[in-house]
Amino acid sequence: MPLIDSKSSQAFFDEMYDENGACRPHYFKYESLIKRVSRKKLNHLQFAADKAQVGMGMTFNVYHDDQGVEKILHLDIIPRIIPSSEWRIIEDGLKQRIKALNLFLQDIYNEQNILNDGIVPKDLILGSKDFLEPCIGLTPPKGIWCHITGTDLVKDKDGQYYVLEDNLRCPSGVSYMLESREIIKRAYPDLFNDLGVRPVSNYPIRLLNMLQYLSDKSKPKIGVLTPGVFNSAYFEHSYLAQQMGCELVVGMDLIVEDNIVYMQTTGGKEQIDVLYRRLDDTFLDPQAFNPDSMLGVPGLFNAYKAGNIAMANAPGTGVADDKAVYAYVPEIIKYYLNEEPILSNVPTYLCRKEEDCKYVLDNIKDLVVKETNAAGGYGMLIGPKATAEEHEKFRGLIKANPSNYIAQPTLSLSTVPTLVKDSIESRHVDLRPYVLYGEEIDVIPGALTRVALKKGSLVVNSSQGGGSKDTWVLY
Amino acid sequence: MLSRVANSIYWLGRYAERVENYARFIDVNFNLMLDMPQDMKEQWEPLVQITGDRDIYVKKYGSHFDRKTVIFFLAFDEDNPNSIFNSVQNARENARMIRENLSKETWEKLNETYHYVKSGKEKSIWKKEDPRSFFSHVKDSVLLLYGLAENTVARTEGWYFRQLGQYLERADKTSRFLDVKYHILLPSHEEVGSPLDFLQWTALLKSVTAFNTYRRFYGNITPSGVVEFLVLDKHFPRSVYFCLKEAENCLYKISGSDGVGFKNSAEKAMGELRSKLEYDDVNDVISTGLHEYLDKLQIKINKISNEVNKNYFQIKSNLIFQTQEQS
């Protein structure tokens, strides 16, 4: 008998059970263990996991929420397991994709061959608010633009992975991948060895090595630049700085003189060489970008241009993870690498194209509509789940500003059994693996699996009632 | 070390010490009241008096000082900037800002202490007939935190900034504890030297865990003995002199000085006060008047703290004027 209490619909791919209700081989050992554990014990394990998160201070701040500032991201104790055969595809696919996107960024800020050859429309790039003019003509240290990527993948009912978003700016969540593993290891002490789960714990050192690679000094000074303690991802910023053993800095700690960036220390000024910045592009430097930014460092961009500081990710990457540019990524891969994309894109309708726009307006009830520049699950419409009024509202929005919207068919996100109060039910998940681009491209064998905790919901964002699962990539 | 980080570590040290002192203080006063003669009113006003936050109390609750209100005020009241709840929250906020500089163990223990105090607030501990176990747990949590730090934190700049904060705070609080005796009233002049007087001095010593040590050093409990011990003793880790000597050493370690003379205004102010205490005897204290002496002491400790701020924490503004003043 399967573990789940209410059987999932055939319309979805379940990661643990096949369409006949038989356990998939890579879940065999987990299933036999979990069947021997009483529900009471399971609930206790879940309780212990919640408690551990509060104790570790693994909390995040939710915007627009008056109910206290700190919440935990619910961590479900039933893991998502990925067999090595599947992982190989993800790994190869992501390496290919990041390599191409990096070449794309270098190109559009320099020669602009891909635009001149008409592969990607010029106005889409040059007219994007994320195309940063100050970056034109710039080559970042070692030619790397997107050092840290957290690509969102989903698995459709055909069992194939699709890339949903590239997230080339400041992808968050990696600390949850790391700390969740520590917590879940306590829940299944015997299973880890037995199953052969690949470790993720060396991520901070790999991140540090990547950041060190960006400087030519033998012992560069490295810092994580955070907007501050009120940012929703602050826990992660401080966690990573602590794990890497480097400085955690805010804008006011830094000062730029003669294009050199210094930290203000108790012993005076001290030069800093590499910044892992978790501040959006336009907040980085009020002199170069948003003059209202109180978070940035005046003069930072000039110091960067002068080659006196490296930043990860490089300013200007945002233009490549725009949801409209996303539609062109398969073309981008072919253009630079002369290869077929290993990971598929979700078919995407660009409302900026007339025929696509018409299709979207006519079929809005079957589609997911997204703003090209929004993140966090905000500003989107899930056609099949929305009311006629909402459809009409979005039709209006699209007509008013078509190039601001794209639409995609509703994907049937795969499911994983999830502990819900006193029962185990299937819930939809996505997958966010992390990729580091330093001396080589490095895909970490693990991921943040986000799970939509509401029954039937397809929105996995933490700001919209999503939780997480530990992700076990097997040897 | 970043100036902002040094600032946060220093205040982390001060707030953690404040939490422990307040918890101990409430605990001891509660005990003292149990021993008071039945016809004597419970005295909770002096507790509020010595914390220096009497005005805030009176504004909110009037001049009525009952047990539950005072405990609530000192432990949980968010309108009292120095309540245990606010101090532990401030300690945690400072720690959160500099987590990369703390060991995992110390951060988690502090975080846990914060959640414990918060739960006490939610459970209305001050309404309990006997809340002592709560306060002794808080006290133990801070001591455990010190123990963890002692064994997991490297003796670099950050360590000395936290110690500096801790010892300056403790010097201030010990002097205030001593001052409480000045404010606690005896029914009449004849009671000086009475069992009641004795009880109060004992309670005072217990407030700073000095009772046993005092007994071993002095035997009899006399006012001048207690004053000498708590202000001038060279070896007891909660005497004002000892705290200042430790704090001075922290300043030397931070500036890398050889401990002769001074390198900056913080070291100057510290050295002056430390040497005054080093060469004062108990008669100097008593002839100045205990209350006056302690008052001056507290003002000088404040001045040292301001000098530390000036020398180490202020940073050049790159946007608007930036400083992070705490108290």
Q: What is the interface pTM, i.e. ipTM, of the complex?
A: 0.77
* Interface check A275 vs B, CB under 8 A: no
- Nearest chain A residue to B322 by CA distance is A252
A266 vs B3: CB contact, 8 Å cut-off?
yes
pLDDT band at A418 (very low <50, low <70, confident <90, very high): very high
Peptide linkage before A313 cis (omega within 30 of 0): yes
* Interface check A267 vs B, CB under 8 A: yes
Q: Supply the pLDDT for residue A441.
A: 97
Q: Supply the pLDDT for residue B8.
A: 93
Which residue among B100, B316, B317 places its CB closest to the CB of A241? B100
* Interface check B255 vs A, CB under 8 A: no
Which residue among B1, B96, B102 places its CB closest to the CB of A265? B1
With respect to residue B108, please indicate whether it lies within any of the assigned structural domains: yes
Asked whether residue B146 falls in the same domain as residue B169, the answer is: no
Q: How many residues in total does chain A contain? A: 475
Q: Supply the pLDDT for residue B234.
A: 95
Min Cα–Cα distance to chain A from B88, Å:
15
With respect to residue A8, please indicate whether it lies within any of the assigned structural domains: no
Asked whether residue A241 falls in the same domain as residue A385, the answer is: no
Asked whether residue A134 falls in the same domain as residue A157, the answer is: yes
* Interface check A116 vs B, CB under 8 A: no
Domain that holds residue B201: 165-315
pLDDT band at A339 (very low <50, low <70, confident <90, very high): very high
B99 vs A238: CB contact, 8 Å cut-off?
yes
How far, in Å, CA of A109 to CA of A86, rounded? 35
* Interface check B3 vs A, CB under 8 A: yes
Q: Among B12, B254, B319, pick the best mutation site for testing chain A contact (most A Cβ within 10 A).
A: B319
Q: Supply the pLDDT for residue A62.
A: 59
How far, in Å, CA of A336 to CA of A175, rounded? 33
Asked whether residue B239 falls in the same domain as residue B262, the answer is: yes
B100 vs A266: CB contact, 8 Å cut-off?
no
pLDDT at A463 over 90: no
Give A234-250 pLDDT, tens digit per residue. Answer: 889 999 999 999 999 99
Asked whether residue B302 falls in the same domain as residue B196, the answer is: yes
Single-letter code of the amino acid located at A59: T
With respect to residue A161, please indicate whether it lies within any of the assigned structural domains: yes
Domain count, chain A: 2
Q: Supply the pLDDT for residue A322.
A: 84
B98 vs A263: CB contact, 8 Å cut-off?
no
- Point out the domain boundary residue: A384, A409, A434: A409
Asked whether residue A392 falls in the same domain as residue A297, the answer is: no
Asked whether residue A336 falls in the same domain as residue A246, the answer is: yes
Which residue among B6, B108, B319 places its CB closest to the CB of A266? B6
How far, in Å, CA of A226 to CA of A252, rounded? 11
Is the Cα torsion angle A332, A338, A340, A342 positive or negative in sign?
A: negative
pLDDT at A327 over 70: yes
Quote the mean pLDDT of chain A.
90
Min Cα–Cα distance to chain B from A71, Å:
13
Q: Supply the pLDDT for residue A287.
A: 87
Q: Supply the pLDDT for residue A99.
A: 97
Short-list A293, A219, A305, CA closest to A250? A293
A248 vs B100: CB contact, 8 Å cut-off?
yes
- Point out the domain boundary residue: B130, B153, B176: B153
* Interface check B299 vs A, CB under 8 A: no
Q: Supply the pLDDT for residue B314.
A: 82
Is the Cα torsion angle A302, A303, A306, A310 positive or negative in sign?
A: negative
Asked whether residue B119 falls in the same domain as residue B220, the answer is: no
Min Cα–Cα distance to chain A from B104, Å:
9
Domain that holds residue A436: 78-178+198-345+426-473
pLDDT at A349 over 60: yes
User: The domain spanning residue A364 has which CATH number?
Assistant: 3.30.1490.270
Show residues of chain A in contact with B6, CB under 8 Å: 266
With respect to residue A148, please indicate whether it lies within any of the assigned structural domains: yes
Show residues of chain A in contact with B96, CB under 8 Å: 57, 229, 234, 238
Which residue ranges in chain B fall short of pLDDT 50?
320-323
Asked whether residue B188 falls in the same domain as residue B131, the answer is: no
Show residues of chain B in contact with A183, CB under 8 Å: none
Mean pLDDT, to the nearest integer, of A12-18?
Answer: 92
Asked whether residue A286 falls in the same domain as residue A376, the answer is: no
Which residue among A54, A241, A253 places its CB closest to the CB of B4? A253
With respect to residue B19, please indicate whether it lies within any of the assigned structural domains: yes
Give A210-237 pLDDT, tens digit per residue. Answer: 999 999 999 999 999 999 888 888 889 9
Q: Among A178, A252, A253, pick the best mutation site for testing chain B contact (most B Cβ within 10 A).
A: A252
Asked whether residue A381 falls in the same domain as residue A457, the answer is: no
Task: Return residues 279-338 of A near B (CB < 8 Å).
Answer: 286, 294, 297-298
Asked whether residue A211 falls in the same domain as residue A138, the answer is: yes
Show residues of chain A in contact with B97, CB under 8 Å: 229, 238
Short-list B173, B183, B239, B177, CA closest to B19? B173
Whether the Cβ atoms of residue A146 and residue A317 lie closer than 8 Å to each other = yes
With respect to residue A304, please indicate whether it lies within any of the assigned structural domains: yes
How would you classify the pairing of strands A268-271 and A260-265?
antiparallel
Asked whether residue A297 falls in the same domain as residue A321, the answer is: yes
How far, in Å, CA of A384 to CA of A285, rounded? 42
Task: Return residues 341-380 of A near B (CB < 8 Å).
Answer: none
pLDDT band at A192 (very low <50, low <70, confident <90, very high): confident
B111 vs A55: CB contact, 8 Å cut-off?
yes
Helix (H), strand (E) at residue B86: helix B84-97
* Interface check B4 vs A, CB under 8 A: yes
* Interface check B312 vs A, CB under 8 A: yes
Whether the Cβ atoms of residue B177 and residue B50 lie closer than 8 Å to each other = yes
B3 vs A253: CB contact, 8 Å cut-off?
yes
With respect to residue A447, please indicate whether it lies within any of the assigned structural domains: yes
- Nearest chain A residue to B309 by CA distance is A266
Q: Count CA atoms closer than 13 A to A442's CA, side-chain side.
A: 18
With respect to residue B239, please indicate whether it lies within any of the assigned structural domains: yes
Helix/strand/coil for A276: strand
With respect to residue B263, please indicate whether it lies within any of the assigned structural domains: yes
B312 vs A247: CB contact, 8 Å cut-off?
no
Domain count, chain B: 2
pLDDT at A63 over 60: no
Is the Cα torsion angle A349, A353, A359, A361 positive or negative in sign?
A: positive
Q: Supply the pLDDT for residue A460.
A: 85
- Nearest chain A residue to B92 by CA distance is A57
* Interface check B93 vs A, CB under 8 A: yes
B4 vs A267: CB contact, 8 Å cut-off?
no
A56 vs B111: CB contact, 8 Å cut-off?
yes
How far, in Å, CA of A412 to CA of A409, rounded? 9
* Interface check B107 vs A, CB under 8 A: yes
pLDDT at A405 over 70: yes
Asked whether residue B1 falls in the same domain as residue B147, the answer is: yes
- Cβ burial B38-50 (10 Å sphere, 16+ → b, else e): eeeeebbbbbbbb
Asked whether residue B72 falls in the same domain as residue B186, the answer is: no
Asked whether residue B241 falls in the same domain as residue B304, the answer is: yes
With respect to residue A23, please indicate whether it lies within any of the assigned structural domains: no
With respect to residue A134, please indicate whether it lies within any of the assigned structural domains: yes
With respect to residue B159, please indicate whether it lies within any of the assigned structural domains: no
Min Cα–Cα distance to chain A from B61, Å:
27
DSSP state at residue B185: P
Highest mean pLDDT among A183-192, A394-403, B267-276, B284-293: B267-276
pLDDT at A7 over 70: no
With respect to residue B158, please indicate whether it lies within any of the assigned structural domains: no
Show residues of chain B in contact with A286, CB under 8 Å: 319
With respect to residue B326, please indicate whether it lies within any of the assigned structural domains: no
* Interface check A234 vs B, CB under 8 A: yes
How far, in Å, CA of A177 to CA of A174, rounded? 5
B3 vs A264: CB contact, 8 Å cut-off?
yes
DSSP state at residue B111: H
Other Cβ atoms less than 10 A from the Cβ of A249: the count is 25
With respect to residue A71, please indicate whether it lies within any of the assigned structural domains: no
Asked whether residue A279 falls in the same domain as residue A266, the answer is: yes
Share of chain A above pLDDT 70, in %: 94
pLDDT at A293 over 90: no
Asked whether residue B117 falls in the same domain as residue B244, the answer is: no
Asked whether residue B7 falls in the same domain as residue B138, the answer is: yes
Min Cα–Cα distance to chain A from B301, Å:
21
* Interface check A239 vs B, CB under 8 A: yes
Asked whether residue A232 falls in the same domain as residue A359, the answer is: no
Q: Which of A32-41, A299-308, B318-327 has the lowest mean pLDDT?
A: B318-327
Asked whether residue B141 falls in the same domain as residue B175, the answer is: no
With respect to residue B320, please indicate whether it lies within any of the assigned structural domains: no
pLDDT at A268 over 80: yes
Min Cα–Cα distance to chain B from A56, Å:
6
- Cβ burial B83-104 (10 Å sphere, 16+ → b, else e): bbbbbbbbbbbbbbbbbbbbbe
* Interface check A248 vs B, CB under 8 A: yes
Show residues of chain A in contact with B254, CB under 8 Å: 266
Structure tokens at A150: 């957290």
Q: Supply the pLDDT for residue A10.
A: 65
* Interface check A263 vs B, CB under 8 A: yes
B316 vs A255: CB contact, 8 Å cut-off?
yes
A298 vs B4: CB contact, 8 Å cut-off?
no
Asked whether residue A232 falls in the same domain as residue A380, the answer is: no
How far, in Å, CA of A150 to CA of A164, rounded? 11
Asked whether residue B170 falls in the same domain as residue B139, the answer is: no
pLDDT band at A433 (very low <50, low <70, confident <90, very high): very high
Share of chain A above pLDDT 90, in %: 64
Asked whether residue A292 falls in the same domain as residue A396, the answer is: no
Show residues of chain A in contact with B5, CB under 8 Å: 247
How many contacts does A have with B, using Cβ atoms within 8 A? 79
Give the pTM: 0.85
Structure tokens at B25: 């203080």
Whether the Cβ atoms of residue A108 and residue A336 lie closer than 8 Å to each other = no
Give A91-102 pLDDT, tens digit per residue. Answer: 999 999 999 999
Strands of A466-473's sheet, edge to edge? A75-82, A466-473, A448-452
pLDDT band at A137 (very low <50, low <70, confident <90, very high): very high
Show residues of chain B in contact with A265, CB under 8 Å: 1-3
Q: Supply the pLDDT for residue B320.
A: 46
* Interface check A265 vs B, CB under 8 A: yes
Q: Supply the pLDDT for residue A5.
A: 60
Angle at which helices B195-207 and B3-35 pack, to 10 degrees? 150
